[in-house]
Structure 1
């Protein structure tokens, strides 16, 4: 009687993902308890969707070093060309004195 009065639980995408991942990592007895809430077919479908999303997700776009400002790059090259006996530490110091923030290895 209670089952007829209570609607089915409303599951959002996060709930489905969690149920799909839990059902793939648990044993059969606990999986049976999961299937009291939902049928096995949707859980398997959700799991396939999670796996497909994992393998088809595009890579993160912001990888690697941030680019150096072209103006700062040309200034560094100009300082190095005009002062051939300066090392990278001296060039870094001069750029820092001028107000530019960069690592010594960048110069």
Structure 2
């Protein structure tokens, strides 16, 4: 499923959720949407559920934070939902924990070496300032 489609489905689910929040009980609204997504799988396939798409997984994992989801599970097993939480957290942690600085492009490295050779009295701070002022590179 393309990322844009997943994103649109998440936005659609979020808009539905916002509409449900007008009601006084947020937990009931979240549970209602949770149950609707599960039941939609049955209606789409007219058979027992198969693999759930990413947008549905993300929606169910997010909504499960808002109410006692163990009582509402029909299609998805509790250990499956917990696994989705773990996978999502692992992806988030991997994304946030990327080591080091992003690499400097080869063309920029070549330009820095050239500036250093042409201006022997310039140190790293002066070269960095020149790049910032003249080229807008920080």
Give the structure with the larger helix fraction.
2
| TM-score (normalised: structure 1) | 0.46
| TM-score (normalised: structure 2) | 0.39
Q: Which structure has the greater CA radius of gyration?
A: 1
